Amino acid sequence: MKRKDFLQLSAMSLGAVMLPKFALLGNPIDPLQALEEGMTVSMKKELADIALNAAKSKGATYADVRIGRYLNQFIVTRENRVQGVSNTESFGVGIRVIANGSWGFAASNNVTREGIAKTAERAVAVAKANAKIITEPVQLAPQQGYGEVNWKTPIEQNTFAIPVKDKADLLLKVNSIAMQGGANFVNSAILAVNEQKYFASTDGSYIDQDIHRIFPTFTVTKTNKATGKFETRKSLSSPVGMGYEYLTPTPESKVSGIVTRYKDRYDILEDVKNATIDVDQKLKAKTVEPGKYDLILDPSHLWLTIHESVAHPTELDRVLGYEANYAGTSFLTLDKWRSKNFQFGSKHVNIVADKLQKGSLGAVGYDDEGVKCGEWDLIKEGVLVNYQAIRDQAHIIGLKQSQGCCYAQSWEDVQFQRMPNVSLQPGKDTLSVDDMIKNVEKGIYIIGDGSFSIDQQRYNFQFGGQTFYEIKDGKIAGMLKDVAYQANTQEFWNSCTAVADARDYRLGGAFNDGKGQPAQSNAVSHGSSTARFNGVNVINTARKI
């Protein structure tokens, strides 16, 4: 039903796609109910032990249990009206076991002693049924138990505790700035997520985590009735692993330049004013001449290119073929990694995986199979050195321990390998964006993410953006439109000739990275400083119908 409901929703909302897929993951609740304490930790521990014992008594050699309460809030507006306020809650338990060498999983919203014991039994039965057709038994990397521990996103203000009216008023103010600035339409929204998850396993871990995320966003639209043309400009905000404090701007969080961009705090009122000016310029902008250009890519844009062309192909399940029928495989095959000299990118390209960065979407203390999170190199001075793995994959790449990349979008979904934050490290030498632009003869400076598409092995991609500025002989020469660039991943990253220093480092990201059948969403951030790529193929996307 969820899939069909989503379709019914999405079918009608092409012009105003604001509600993400996970809007339908829970039951609507009163906003204040989200602030109520859920089940106590001691109760969760008691129930978790029942699950683990039930699984073991039925023949499981390993078991883990996740008792999860997932809260979402959406406030959606257009122009001068609030279109919807919705709060959802989903509470239940997911139990995963190994029996007869095979995985089994079962989930239930009946979080009682009896319900949990039955769910554990079902998980073991599924494992035993699947064991009849497996080719090799699961090899689980050893994992120490941590005892009773907890972790919490370091937030200053819980978004759910801010009155709905305050949030709706802020969005209506955003809309009114856009309309006063000459926009024809504006859509805006605040999405908030709180994952309260309790994990326990037969390794002896009892992990209680409280994770917060927020995403304020808008789209300003301007139409030209006479020509029938229209342009949009999206917000330059990012979804982040923070509380409502993200919406309290500070001077240090602003990056000045052709348009203000934002680090760990966001000024939505300033950005919508700028967006309304941008959208007007976009309508009047010069159409791009196709050809080779040097691209200067802002972090608000580059995060998505990193996500698609670096983070996805280094997912070990893709490399091994587990996603062949859905998300795809990867060109970064094991032989390239084993060679220790596969030149993925230029020497400027240092890419790190982590689940630690403060304010990032991937930041948690422990993953969804009880592994403490860390940081590791994926690409070092351009060479492929590692992948992203979980416990049952670690042995394949010679690791003694998992890298902590296991995640499930909800208690009712089975956890599997999902990407951590994957980020381009800033340049080591002092280099500002202005200095970078000074040396470009014929280039395009791209800000914000737009259209994106990449093949199933992650070789060939095409990206758009929000705003495009022509660079001529070291100077910005005005706005362009109808721009998209196409490249081969390896050629593109080898054409990287400079990365700005750490002063420019910022995170971008998404709430809805999709993988798996049935499909699951993962929230992930990607950081970078502005980077330069030489001689990239740019096409003109204007067509007439």
Judged by CB under 8 A, the chain residues 224 through 263 that form the site for other proteins are 224-230, 232
Beta partners for 384? 379
Q: State whether the Cα torsion 454-455-461-462 is positive or negative.
A: negative
Please state the closest distance from residue 328 (CB atom) to other proteins, in A. 8
Rounded to whole angstroms, the Cα distance separating 207 from 356 reads: 17
Contact call for residue 460 and other proteins (CB under 8 A): yes
* Region near other proteins per CB under 8 A, out of 23-31, 64-72, 354-362, 439-447: 23-31
Contact call for residue 36 and other proteins (CB under 8 A): no
Q: Binder to other proteins among 243, 382, 404, 464 (CB under 8 A)?
A: 464
C-alpha 501: how far from chain center: 24
Contact call for residue 482 and other proteins (CB under 8 A): yes
Which residues 277-316 are close enough to bind other proteins by CB under 8 A? none
* Region near other proteins per CB under 8 A, out of 35-43, 246-254, 320-328, 527-535: 320-328
Q: What is the length of the chain? A: 545
Tokens 């790449």, located at residue: 397
Contact call for residue 61 and other proteins (CB under 8 A): no
Contact call for residue 137 and other proteins (CB under 8 A): no
Q: Binder to other proteins among 303, 322, 445, 468 (CB under 8 A)?
A: 322
Tokens 């809650």, located at residue: 89
Q: Binder to other proteins among 36, 37, 42, 81 (CB under 8 A)?
A: 81
Name which of 252 and 335 has its Cβ closer to other proteins: 335
* Region near other proteins per CB under 8 A, out of 56-64, 124-132, 191-199, 369-377: 124-132
Phi, psi torsion values for 179, nearest 5 degrees: -65, -40
Name which of 240 and 454 has its Cβ closer to other proteins: 454
End-to-end CA distance of the chain: 36
Sort residue 9 into left (φ over 0), alpha (ψ -120 to 50) or beta.
alpha
Contact call for residue 335 and other proteins (CB under 8 A): no
Concatenated DSSP letters of 415-446: -EE---EEEEPPPSS---HHHHHHT-SEEEEE
Rounded to whole angstroms, the Cα distance separating 472 from 241 reads: 38
The C-alpha R_g of the chain, in whole angstroms, comes to 24
Which residues 152-181 are close enough to bind other proteins by CB under 8 A? 164, 168
Please state the closest distance from residue 132 (CB atom) to other proteins, in A. 9
Contact partners, residue 356, CB within 8 Å, separation at least 6: 363, 373, 374, 375
Contact call for residue 352 and other proteins (CB under 8 A): no
Contact call for residue 361 and other proteins (CB under 8 A): no
Number of residues that bind other proteins (CB under 8 A): 85
Please state the closest distance from residue 331 (CB atom) to other proteins, in A. 7
* Region near other proteins per CB under 8 A, out of 61-69, 83-91, 430-438, 498-506: 83-91
Sheet holding 421-424, edge to edge: 383-384, 375-380, 351-354, 421-424
Contact call for residue 485 and other proteins (CB under 8 A): no
Strands 27-28 and 81-99: antiparallel
Name which of 354 and 392 has its Cβ closer to other proteins: 392
Q: Binder to other proteins among 53, 61, 281, 456 (CB under 8 A)?
A: 456
Task: Decide: helix, strand or coil at residue 184.
Answer: coil
Task: Decide: helix, strand or coil at residue 300.
Answer: helix
Please state the closest distance from residue 322 (CB atom) to other proteins, in A. 5
Which residues 388-417 are close enough to bind other proteins by CB under 8 A? 412, 414, 416
Tokens 């908030």, located at residue: 192
Contact call for residue 430 and other proteins (CB under 8 A): no
